[in-house]
Amino acid sequence: MNDLLIFGASRNSGYLLAQQARAQGLKVAALARPGRGAGLAGLGVTVVEGDAFNAEDCLRALALTQPRQVVSLLGGKDSTGRRIDETGNINVIAACEQCGVERALLVTSFGCGDLAPLLSAQAASLLGEALAAKSRAEVRWQQSPLAITLLRPGGLSHAPASGRWQLHDGSRGSGATLARADLALAILALLADSASVGQVLCVSARGAEDGGAIADR
């Protein structure tokens, strides 16, 4: 049994989540496409090879690793131009339901769902296709009977973790650009907080003058 199974862990925020989770002593597993799991294995992550476009691969990853909690950060396109944001994330939640996981968290983006009107025209033009796909995945996750949290980060950077991040409802915008490493910390904190179950939250960086790590929700 594993503490955490990550979908979308082979690079960027997902990889940093795996790294932070391992640093906290968690047993971590990940689904990765063939040839893309070496870095994860080097962290001590159990790697299951497969493709989230394939519903059976998602289900197999759950069955083999038996995680308590699941996080999906799936996004982007494959080499053929297929977008994973909707199909992959829907496959993940279906597998979670079949296996009855304890906790599931989906990372999408600021501008999804009810926050679409807050996007600038430029952002909507650049990100519209991805946000629409992520929004459809959010709807499916929110229909699940499982303990779900949706997390919508705004802009992300590759800066080192500061340990300073805040949760908010997005009504005043996406907030300051957040380090991906801090996004990883926020995800782990939310997984440990039962009060976040059923919530749709945004996350952004927090200035030194604002106090602690987590803002009022």
- Closest to 215 (Cα-Cα) out of 184, 194, 190: 190
From residue 31, alpha-carbon distances to 34, 88, 175, 202 in Å are 9, 12, 31, 25
User: Could you give the count of Cα atoms lying within 13 Å of 25 in the half-sphere of its Cβ?
Assistant: 0
The whole-angstrom separation of Cα 12 and Cα 129 is 21
Mean pLDDT for the stretch of residues 18-39: 96
Residue 32: is its pLDDT beyond 90? yes
| Residue 179 near residue 161, CB atoms below 8 Å | yes
Tell me the whole-structure pTM to 2 decimals: 0.93
pLDDT given for residue 119 in this prediction = 84
pLDDT given for residue 160 in this prediction = 94
Confidence of residue 79 (pLDDT cuts 50, 70, 90): confident
Residue 209: is its pLDDT beyond 80? no
Counting residues of the chain whose pLDDT is more than 90, the rounded percentage is 84
pLDDT tens for 94-139 read 999 999 999 999 999 999 999 999 888 887 777 788 999 999 999 9
pLDDT given for residue 128 in this prediction = 81
Average pLDDT value over all residues in the chain: 93
pLDDT tens for 4-14 read 999 999 999 99
Domains of the chain, each with CATH number or no CATH = 2-210 (3.40.50.720)
Residue 217: is its pLDDT beyond 70? no
pLDDT tens for 137-189 read 999 999 999 999 999 999 999 999 999 999 999 999 999 999 999 999 999 99
DSSP states of 62-84 as a string?
HHHH-EEEEEE---SB-TTS-BH
Residue 51: is its pLDDT beyond 80? yes
